[in-house]
Amino acid sequence: MTLALVLPSSVIGTAAPAPTPIAVSEVRVNARGAADGSHLVSAADGAGRMLDLDVYSAAMDSVITVKVLRAPDGSIPTPVLYLLNGANGGLDASSWFDQTDIADFFADTQISLVIPMGGRASYFTDWRTDDPVLGRQRWATFLTSELPVIIDSAIRGNGSNAIGGISMAATSVFQLALAAPGLYRAIGSYSGCARTSDPVGHAFVSAVVARWAGNAVNMWGPPGDPEWNATDPYLHADQLRGTAIYVSAGTGVPGALDTLDGPGIAGDTAKLQAQLTTGVVIEALSARCAVALRDRLAALRIPATFNLRPVGTHSWGYWQQDLHDSWPLFEHALH
């Protein structure tokens, strides 16, 4: 007589189901609105783990598109890394999900990435007056009071956040951290300028806003207005104590990524020319700002990581590497 021994699957080692991202249907059901009435309008699957959200902002009375890279396992409450685009707000395919390898780099990492679209020339701050061209800008309210509530409920954020930004947004990440103490455990500032109220900083900010026909007077008032000092991260750097900080900048000297076959260039001579002219000047100014902030934080005895590269222009190839390099600091702070 032959006896068959049947073992439970747990004994014979049957593989557990592979983790899956949170389903879009769950996102729609789970999302809660913010106290001011901001809410999720729609959610749709994008490529891979990407999720396309439309979020109504009561502060701006408009619908904002938000791109989300969902964490691999949607059943686990997860940290959130907010990534802000540059001065054109991510339009014209100049955004983190268009220009970098975030989907591959974070493929096996249990974190959700949130990329708001829009905010061209806004500095992601709350403007005191609606601008005739740029309209109503209340990005600080949206990013600190409205969006986090919706994101955490919709995709199971666990309340542990970090934020990174390039160029214009490399200033904004500091301002947002100061505006909402404790919201972000870590800040990544890539090729920006934290000092905004001195003559050089004021000129730099005004030029960025004017590039898209906006008027910085509608943001923080005329030169000398107290609000320029009130929103200057350099002047209020002491309030950043306890936050993990990563700052990077090149010198503007062209490097290995500033070639026709470099990231984002794809043989386009016009793009390369812009990178080697405007991109050189802006990055050189960013380097000057980074050194000043380094010295300021050192004087305050506030720990920070500075990656001041000997080469590099104001361009996506370097920012992708900056994100890679700063991730260990973010990861440590988020867990």
Q: What is the pLDDT of residue 266?
A: 84
| pLDDT score, position 111 | 97
> Which residues pair with residue 18 across a beta bridge?
none
Mean pLDDT of the region 121-148 = 98
Give the pLDDT band (50/70/90) at residue 6: very low
Find tokens 């905004």 and name the residue: 196
Please give the pLDDT value at position 222.
95
Residue 2 has pLDDT above 60, yes or no: no
> Mean pLDDT throughout 64-86?
97
- The tens digit of pLDDT for each residue in 287-320 reads 999 999 999 999 999 999 999 999 999 999 999 9
In whole angstroms, what is the distance from residue 190 CA to residue 316 CA? Answer: 10
Q: Please state the pTM of the whole predicted model.
A: 0.93
Does the pLDDT value for residue 7 go beyond 70?
no
Give the model's pLDDT for residue 19.
85
Helix ranges (DSSP H) in 180-213: 199-211
pLDDT at position 15 over 60: no
When pLDDT is averaged across residues 100-122 and rounded to a whole number, the result is: 97
Q: Which two tokens stand for residue 62?
A: 């408009």
The whole-chain average pLDDT of the chain stands at 94
213-236 average pLDDT score: 96
Q: pLDDT at position 235, please?
A: 98
Task: Report d(CA 165, CA 154) in Å as an integer.
Answer: 23
Q: Give the closest residue to 176 by CA, choosing from 243, 247, 246, 124.
A: 124
> What is the per-residue pLDDT for 18?
75
- Confidence at 17, pLDDT banded by 50, 70, 90: low
pLDDT class for 265, splitting at 50, 70, 90?
confident
Give the pLDDT confidence score for residue 10 in this predicted structure: 42
User: What share of the chain has pLDDT > 70, as a percent?
Assistant: 95
Confidence label for 108 from pLDDT (cuts 50, 70 and 90): very high
Distances (CA, A) of 159 to 73, 183, 205, 238: 17, 8, 32, 24
Which of the four pLDDT bands, split at 50, 70 and 90, describes residue 4? very low
Structure tokens given for 120: 């061209």
Burial 167-188 (b: 16+ CB within 10 A, else e): bbbbbbbbbbbbbbeebbbbbb
Residue 87 · residue 212 · CB < 8 Å? yes
Give the tokens for residue 314. 């104001």
For residue 153, name the pLDDT band (cuts at 50, 70, 90): very high
Instruction: Work out the average pLDDT over 107-132.
Output: 97
Contacts of 159 (CB under 8 A, 6+ apart): 152
Task: Express each pLDDT in 179-201 by its tens digit.
Answer: 999 999 999 999 999 999 999 99
Distant-in-sequence contacts of 236-239, Cβ < 8 A, 24+ apart: 236/178, 237/194, 237/293, 237/296, 237/297, 237/300, 237/302, 238/300, 238/302, 239/178, 239/181
Least confident of 115-119, 256-260, 299-303: 256-260
120, amino acid identity: R
Q: Residue 68 half-sphere exposure, CB side, CA atoms within 13 Å?
A: 33
Name the pLDDT band for 16 (thresholds 50, 70, 90).
low
Determine whether 215 is exposed, middle or buried from the number of CB atoms within 10 Å of its CB (0-12, 13-18, 19+). middle
Task: Report whether pLDDT(5) > 80.
Answer: no
pLDDT confidence of residue 9: 40
Residue 205, pLDDT above cutoff 70: yes
- pLDDT of 92 reads 83
